[in-house]
Amino acid sequence: MLSSEALDELMICRLDSARRSVEPCTIVIFGASGDLTSRKLIPALYDLHQQKLLPSDYRIIGFARSAKADDVWRKELLAAFEKLPRSRRVEPGAWKEFASKVHYCRGDIDDGDSFQKLKTLVAGFGAGPLSHNLLFYLAISPSRFGQAVAQLCQAGLLCRDDPHGWQRVVVEKPFGHDLASARGLNHELTRHAHEDQIFRIDHYLGKETVQNLLTFRFSNALFEPLWSRNSVDHVQITVSESLGVGRRGGYYEEAGALRDMVQNHILQVMSLVTMEPPVSLEAEPIRDEKVKLIESIRAIPPEQVSRMVVRGQYAAGAVNGAAQAAYRHEPLVRPDSNVETYVALKLHVDNWRWSGVPFYVRTGKCLPLSASEVRVQFRPTPNVLFAARCGPRLDANSVTIRLQPNEGITMRINGKVPGASMQIRPVRMHFSYDAEFGAYTPEAYERLLLDAMAGDATLFLRRDEVEAAWTLVDSIRAGWDGVPMGEREFYPAGTWGPKSSEDLLARSGHAWREPQPLQRTNPAPDRAP
């Protein structure tokens, strides 16, 4: 009989063997001089190289308008890498080997000759897979996506059907700013490539703890039978940020919290928490279930937005002892801006599993701490025995999945305090990723880049998924259209949002459970009683 450790190893091997192999390929990064390339993409590719997870042969090409030689760009990338936190150290030998495969191509997306120059550079890698297996990463403004894809197609670098290899396009969010623009962008992209060649990336889905939601739900018999309206009272999803908009005021004026966070990150997390079991762990069955879930979220008509949605904007205050200016005083922000930096919603999922269960989601800037977590609150026990005797001291059970930071899972149960009296208080059982698996957690872009090279679209968004999310968000924005922010919608920086967000839950007898700065030992108690 196999030991439990051997069984664990066998399961890991089986899951790993299901992953697709990564063939030799060339990765072309458009927007090579941008912040995303130097801070995220190149470090992620270097880490994959160091772990020997990249294909046996590969090339990386940076495409941007500035004129520079390969060696100059390599030195710039190394200098940027060395400014990252010390946990991301560069090993000189590994970097030298990695940098030898990094090249630079000067070009402009509006210039067809630039793409011919890129084609010549790719062809110089030989007639094998390096010139046919091509991954194009569009780290550029979404307004340029269509032009870039059209130029790639015209230059013969992007083909719908290439008998000698494959070509894929990775696009960064935002995928439009409303349903109409998202549909227009999708139409532009699919004019030149098949849907299965388009990889819409949401870095949130690359986080280990987000991926673990499916494992937690569908591999544990302890929880799956409880994961429905029969046992769950309500669910809270919080994505809080302690920072303000900083230098992103111009972007935030166009986006706001609803578009920036709810339409993509939060709805993605909600779909993984609540979707039905897929028929397999392949990409399409998982994405099918996510789409079904998002389409099952009850629409909020504009006339009901004031009751089901709370928006807010941070005023001057202090976060962690540091003074914080009001949003309207941030650079590139209009002095009379009505853009929301906080949003809370009460959502319902109209399907058999979740009928009648409210889902409270919120996100905001300049809140007391940065944390992302899902709290599943179970129904209280019947009002007999301990519930009758202990009253509010007997808290309902819950499972909290901390996505970041201090990733882990906490179960909240009731326990008797030692002593002669029958005193009961909530206690926690906590699982920490660091304690169990070690401190290293792969960067989200490592997993997503590797999956894109392998052609595994599981963690990427499909066209209908994006459009379903925008359908929900557009209706809410229509309810805000032309309505100025009121006094109760402003909140001091360093607090948990406007007072009206508490009313949103209080009407149903619920209260927000604030995320805590979890410790790896002896976590602090919840704020809510």
As annotated, the active-site residues are 265
Q: What's at 262, amino acid-wise?
A: V
Angstrom distance (rounded) from CA 529 to CA 395 = 8
Q: How far is CA 258 from CA 177, 238, 243, 409, 470, in A?
A: 11, 13, 17, 27, 10
Which strands make up the sheet holding 102-106, listed edge to edge? 102-106, 58-64, 25-30, 134-138, 167-172, 198-201
Query: Which of 215-223's residues contact partners 24+ apart within 8 Å by CB, and which partners?
Result: 216/401, 216/409, 217/273, 218/277, 223/399
Pairing verdict, β 198-201 and 408-416: unpaired
Angstrom distance (rounded) from CA 459 to CA 442 = 15
Angstrom distance (rounded) from CA 344 to CA 237 = 10
Angstrom distance (rounded) from CA 241 to CA 47 = 27
Q: How far is CA 451 from CA 137, 175, 455, 484, in A?
A: 13, 20, 6, 44
User: DSSP string spanning 327-386?
Assistant: GGGSTT--TT----SEEEEEEEB-STTTTT-EEEEEEESS-SS-EEEEEEEEPPPPSSTH
Angstrom distance (rounded) from CA 272 to CA 458 = 12
Q: In terms of Cα–Cα distance, which of 423, 424, 435 is closest to 397?
A: 424
What are phi and psi for residue 364, nearest 5 degrees? -170, 160
